[in-house]
Structure 1
Amino acid sequence: MSLEIVFETHSWSQDNDRGIATGWLPGRLSERGRGLAVELGERRRKDGISAVFTSDLARAVETASLAFAGSDIPVLHDWRLRECDYGDGNGMPAAELHRSRAQRIDQPYPGGESWRQAVDRVGRFLADLPLRWSDTRILVIGHVATRWAFDHFIDGKPLEELVEADFGWREGWEYRLA
């Protein structure tokens, strides 16, 4: 049994333009983001993808909707793929919020969750995938917490290392879940 996972972040949002940490707020794609979402679909539609899983937050759903409009590939929404819940910090300036990111590995944001809780939530999604999707290639559209969970659970990277590293956006990451 093997499962190939392609991870893509949601497209560029209006909050990205403004430097806002959206967290569990819905967010909307910017004009640039809508164009990038269409490009994602062009890149991945013929990539052997059996299904697309996306966070249920509006910016990720909008990315998947634009990327796979008119496609026969099923798009499934899953709340476990959400970004970390910054609680009272949802919607605040990203630079201000992320200054204390390392302190929030195990200590939840006020009114929210810790990074470990967010990563563990995505880990439960990973654990369920082989029940239906073994021996396939799937695409996941998510957030920072989604990618960190994949890096942590699939590649064995310590969360403490991940929170200190630059996110380093690119056109997709590939993982193999054995």
Structure 2
Amino acid sequence: MRRLVLLRHGRTAWNDTGRAQGHADVPLDDVGLAQAKEVGPLMAALEPVAIWTSDLARAAQTADAVAAECGLDPVTDPRLREFDIGPNRTGLTSDEYAEQFPEEYAALLAGDIAGIPGRETRDEVLDRFVPALTSYVDTLADGETGLVVAHGAALRVAVPAFLGWEGDPGESFGVLANCGWVVLEHSASTWTGGVEQWRLTAWNRIA
């Protein structure tokens, strides 16, 4: 059995105040640093052989804390970044965005992402994120675990896409907590007639 564990970064000050981050390079706050330190031994207990992380500070700092417990050097990969939400949304709460950019806010509610300058679509995120996951699992041997440190919204769409689920079922998943993690396992089961495939075995585990 191969296993892929996907960990959301720890808390930032913008998380705490409800400010959208996107590609903004916001560091962990004191709570986030404590969360990363707390989850480190739990990740180490899974004995990962590799850690891949988004290059944004909040993910990279989380990965560094975990890697210190695992005795590994994290590999940064910009393909693991969060959705780019555009310059006007970045740093604002939902209420501030609605007040300052009402036309963009209306487009967002209507699902008209193309009408929002600089905002990535779901397909654009999947076009970079899913190939990254595929490249990682291809390096894992039977019995090995890999660890990915990334971002909540991107993981919510990338996990079902990686598993080959149709549509956009990520909307039915709960929001990943800061330093919450997902577990995917590649193994055979009686349900698949002995055929090996990737399966979701846990969503939003927390320390």
- Give the TM-score normalised by structure 1: 0.84
**In structure 2, what is the equivalent of residue 45 of structure 1?**
44
**In structure 2, what is the equivalent of residue 152 of structure 1?**
161
After the TM superposition, which segments of 4 or more aligned residues of structure 1 sit over 6 Å from their partners? none
* Larger RCO (alpha carbons 8 Å, 6+ apart): 1
Output one character per residue of 1:43-79: Cα deviation in whole Å (capped at 9) or x when no partner: 1112121111110001000111122226422311110
Identity over the aligned pairs, expressed in percent?
Answer: 26
Are the aligned partners of 2:4 and 2:183 in contact in 1 as well (CA < 8 Å)? Answer: yes
**In structure 1, what is the equivalent of residue 31 of structure 2?**
32
- Paired residues for 1:19-168 under 5 Å: 19-69=18-68, 71-88=70-87, 89-94=89-94, 96=97, 100=108, 103=111, 107=114, 109-135=116-142, 136-143=144-151, 144-154=153-163, 156=165, 158-159=167-168, 161-163=169-171, 165-168=173-176
- What's the CA shift for 1:167? 1.5
RMSD in angstroms over aligned alpha carbons?
2.6
Unaligned runs of 5+ in 2: 99-104, 187-196, 198-207
**Aligned residue identity for 1:107:** A
Return closer, same or farther for 1:9/1:119 CA change in 2, 3 Å cut-off: same
**Aligned residue identity for 1:148:** V
Give distance in 2, aligned partners of 1:130 and 1:108: 35
Return closer, same or farther for 1:175/1:70 CA change in 2, 3 Å cut-off: closer
Are the aligned partners of 1:83 and 1:145 in contact in 2 as well (CA < 8 Å)? Answer: yes
Output one character per residue of 1:105-159: Cα deviation in whole Å (capped at 9) or x when no partner: x637412311221122101102222442343211111112034201222161522
Return closer, same or farther for 1:79/1:164 CA change in 2, 3 Å cut-off: same
Return closer, same or farther for 1:33/1:130 CA change in 2, 3 Å cut-off: closer
User: How many residues align structurally?
Assistant: 175
**Aligned residue identity for 1:111:** G
Unaligned runs of 5+ in 1: none
Are the aligned partners of 1:57 and 1:82 in contact in 2 as well (CA < 8 Å)? Answer: yes
**Range 70-79 or range 92-101, more displaced:** 92-101
**Aligned residue identity for 1:69:** A
**In structure 2, what is the equivalent of residue 173 of structure 1?**
182
Are the aligned partners of 2:2 and 2:145 in contact in 1 as well (CA < 8 Å)? Answer: yes
